[in-house]
A and B are shown apart, each in its own frame.
Chain A
Amino acid sequence: MSESTAAGRWSDRMLGANGWLVYLFLYVPIFVLIVFSFNDNQRVAVWTEFSFRWYGEMLQNDAVLRALRNTLIVAAVATAASTVLGTMAALAMERYRFRGQRGADGLLYLPIIIPDVTMAVMMLLFFAQAINIASHVVRLNFGLGTISLAHIAFNIAYVAVVVRARLAQMEPQLEEAAADLYASRWQTFRRVTLPLIMPGVAGGALLALTLSLDDVVVTSFVSGPGSTTLPVYVFGLVRRGVTPLINAVSVVMLVASIVLVGVSLGLQRRSGKGSILIE
């Protein structure tokens, strides 16, 4: 008996050690980056003194500011459009029966399954063809428009997954009750369904926003001159090396995503038991 408890205690200690090790692994790189972003020295790894110098330079840097502006425009457009379209797709799949539904299901999962690189290639070839064909009538080019259209294309699927999970949890009796009380289809949706799935819709929107703010690969394939987004700009710089300016920009991007986590956790708490992961 005492032998088994000793073994239990030992395995528990090992589990704890592994746990803290994984947390260290996850957090040390982030903390080191944050600390060194406040380093005054031009050479990134040589600590001289604490300063906001690189944050100041970031705010003076036109390329960074333009890229930031582009990122926010694309993210806003893509999030709004994909939230509406993704919610509609979720409703069609969960609340209606129609022909070709299985095919629609596949079409809705594919954008999640295929890798970034393939999605990027698809978008490049498609827009190259489309611009080429349209050139007989109107001069179009790669830019914020193509980036937004591409982001919407991959975001719809993610929003739909989150909203569908919420719809599946919901009791259909509530909608039936509204219909029994002579609510029209639209009234039922506005007054019953939408308020109930709102946490799912908000969660989907946040996921879309995060994906849009993070995307490097697809965006870099469909951006044109002057339409670089912040992640693409940073990616280009990172490939050439580490600089204190990138440290500062990175920390700002990191803080933005942590704020988004906070918001999404707050939403979950308000809606009671919610989806912890994206599903």
Chain B
Amino acid sequence: MVSETATAELEARAERAESRRGVLVGAPPFAYLILFFALPLVIVVVYSFASRSSTGATILGEWNLDSWLRVFSPQVAEIAWRSFWLATTTTFFCLVFGYPFAYWIATRSPRARALLLVLVMIPFWSNFLVRTYAIRFLMGVEGPVSVISQALGGEPVRVLFTNTAVLVGMIYGYIPFMILPLYAALERMDWGLVEAARDLYAGGWTAFRKITFPLSMPGVVAGSVLVFIPSLGAYVIPAILGGSNTVLLGDYIVSQFLAARNWPFGSALSTAVMIVMLAATIFYFRRGGRTL
């Protein structure tokens, strides 16, 4: 009896010591994140309730909901809708081309698979700005595409500064984020199940629809979230490939800080975008996604 309580006491003490050590190991990184990440986050939320003087300076103290009311104005709704639509379209096209692509790689021989995968990794890790620039270079009025088209007797092609240009740039930039989780899901899959379905006289399409696709669903969800989230907040791609009438949420937020100097409104917009992203991510985790 006595020894039992003593053991329990010892165990509790060991647990407390363990917890203290854990706190010690975690203290430096989490202190850093609290100071340089959580605090800035709080500041942005606080700023969204501040007001703005006629010179553009932010007045802390005269708290109000003006910026938040503007977030729900028709002008913002139009920009948000355009961003949402573009992000959805980007995700759709990445999925349409990325799924068969990942399926194709996953069904090659192991050696071919390794090589084909490296060829996806290279653009995935390559400098994003440079890749976007390459698209701009290709699409410009003086660019190779236009020059070739003119040489063939066609019209000068002008895609740059349109929504189409931004869409192509986004697909180009984010398709590796779709392919890699899809590939991971398909590669992990138990292909014996597909064989079993075929043995039971399921056609190729039926086997795919009833077995392969449902089993690869975690990859579909992961890839879609990984493409949708950065597409929705994209700034660099629309800034380089888009025009003045293709304003998206990303550039709209930036312009509040650089050109318009309306920090409270910009803060409210940032907070709103962040909330949407959080909701999307929680949805992703609920659907069984584990990796980020």
Which residues 6-54 in A have Cβ within 8 Å of B in the complex?
7-8, 11, 14-16, 18-19, 21-23, 25-30, 32-33, 36, 43-46
Contact flags B74-95 to A (C-beta < 8 A → 1, else 0): 0000000000000000000000
Between B32, B181, B281, the greatest number of chain A beta carbons within 10 A of the residue's beta carbon is seen for B32
- Which one, A30, A117, A156, A256, contacts B253 given CB within 8 A? A117
Contact A89 to B39, CB < 8 A, known contacts A15-B100, A115-B229, A261-B121:
no
Q: Tell whether, in the assembled complex, residue A153 and residue B36 are in contact, meaning their CB atoms are under 8 Å apart.
A: yes
**Which residues from chain B sit less than 8 Å from chain A, CB to CB?**
15, 18-19, 21-23, 25-26, 28-30, 32-34, 36-41, 43-44, 47, 97-98, 100-101, 103-105, 107, 116-123, 125-131, 133-138, 140, 142-144, 146-147, 172, 175-176, 179-181, 184, 203-204, 229-230, 232-236, 239-240, 249-250, 253-254, 257, 263, 266-267, 270, 273-274, 277-278, 281, 291-292
**Cα separation A114 to B36 with both chains bound (whole Å):** 15
A-B contacts, 10 of them at CB < 8 A, read A33-B130, A89-B29, A92-B26, A97-B19, A117-B250, A121-B257, A129-B43, A157-B33, A234-B133, A257-B125
Contact flags A211-237 to B (C-beta < 8 A → 1, else 0): 001101100010000000001001100
Q: Tell whether, in the assembled complex, residue A214 and residue B129 are in contact, meaning their CB atoms are under 8 Å apart.
A: yes
What are the residues of chain B within 8 A of A165 when measuring CB–CB? 291
Q: Tell whether, in the assembled complex, residue B134 and residue A107 are in contact, meaning their CB atoms are under 8 Å apart.
A: no
**Cα separation A217 to B238 with both chains bound (whole Å):** 13
**Cα separation A170 to B290 with both chains bound (whole Å):** 18
Q: Tell whether, in the assembled complex, residue B292 and residue A99 are in contact, meaning their CB atoms are under 8 Å apart.
A: no
Q: Tell whether, in the assembled complex, residue B26 and residue A85 are in contact, meaning their CB atoms are under 8 Å apart.
A: no
Contact A276 to B184, CB < 8 A, known contacts A26-B172, A89-B26, A239-B239:
yes
Q: Is A204 an interface residue, CB under 8 A from the partner?
A: no
Chain B residue at minimum C-beta to C-beta distance from A43: B142
Q: Tell whether, in the assembled complex, residue B180 and residue A123 are in contact, meaning their CB atoms are under 8 Å apart.
A: no
What are the residues of chain B within 8 A of A120 when measuring CB–CB? 254
**Cα separation A149 to B270 with both chains bound (whole Å):** 21
Q: Tell whether, in the assembled complex, residue A117 and residue B292 are in contact, meaning their CB atoms are under 8 Å apart.
A: no
What are the residues of chain B within 8 A of A185 when measuring CB–CB? 21
